[in-house]
Structure 1
Amino acid sequence: MSIPEIIVSILVIIATLMVVTTSVAMWRAPDALTRVNLLGPVIGVGFPLLLLSKLLIDWSTTGFDLHNLVRALLAIAGVWIVASVGSYYIGRSIYGVTVVDKKHAEDRAYQPGA
């Protein structure tokens, strides 16, 4: 094995360990809101590590390609943007369903004239 292949193997193993530990943590999470928040390490670090390892293996075999670098950077930025907006909306919807606002519940319970 060459040095780039060893580096790529290490990066893929780290990304895989992040996915496995996140899966176990999601399995043990007490509620849906916590599960949504646990996706951060895989999306923020695991996926970019996989793209970086693909770039490194391509560069070690065929040489540097600016087109692949730009595509990888756009993919990483896209995943970060979509994941952050998506987790925000999922978290807000889960929070709205699972958390009861005491003041709002009291106002709804007391309805004069009923």
Structure 2
Amino acid sequence: MTVLEIIVAALVVVSTVYTVATVLLQLRAPDALTRANLLGPLVCLAFPTLVLAKLIWSWGTYGFRLGEFLMAVVAVAGVWIIGSVGSFVMGRSIYGVTVTDKLDTNANH
């Protein structure tokens, strides 16, 4: 194996560890709100690590290509933006369903 292949394989293994850790943490989470908040390692770490591994492989094989680099930047930025907004929306909707206000329940009795 070349040094390039070792680096790419190590990045893929690191991304896999992030993914497995996220799955295990979600299985152990006590409630839905915690599960929604545990998507961070997958969105913020695992996906960009895979994109970086692909870029390193491509740069080592074909050389630097500006188009691939820009697509990678847009992909990572898009996942971060969509992941952040999606996590916020899921958290707000889950919080509204699962949390009851103690003041409202005392006023009705």
TM-score range, shorter chain: over 0.9
Match of 2:78 in 1: 78
Distance 1:82 1:106 in 2: 39
The alignment yields a C-alpha RMSD, in angstroms, of 0.9
**Matched position secondary structure for 1:81:** helix
Distance 2:85 2:21 in 1: 23
Q: Tell me, in whole angstroms, the C-alpha distance in 2 between the residues paired with 1:56 and 1:21.
A: 24
Gaps (5+ residues) in structure 1?
none
* Aligned residue identity for 1:23: V
Q: Write the deviation string for residues 19-52 of structure 1: whole angstroms up to 9, x where unpaired.
A: 0011011011110001011110110011000000
Report the Cα distance in structure 2 between the residues aligned to 1:25 and 1:7, rounded to whole angstroms: 27
How many residue pairs align between the two structures? 109
Q: Among the aligned pairs, what percent are the same residue?
A: 51
The 2-side partners of 1:82 and 1:28 are apart by 25
Gaps of 5+ in 2: none
- CA offset digits 1:57-97 (Å, max 9, x no partner): 01111111000000000000000000000000100000011
**In structure 2, distance between residues paired with 1:44 and 1:25:** 16
Q: 2:16 matched to 1:3?
A: no
Question: Which stretches of structure 1, 4 residues or more, deviate above 2 A after TM superposition?
Answer: 104-107
Task: Choose 1 or 2 for highest CA Rg.
Answer: 1
Output the TM-score relative to the length of structure 1: 0.92
TM (norm. structure 2) is 0.96
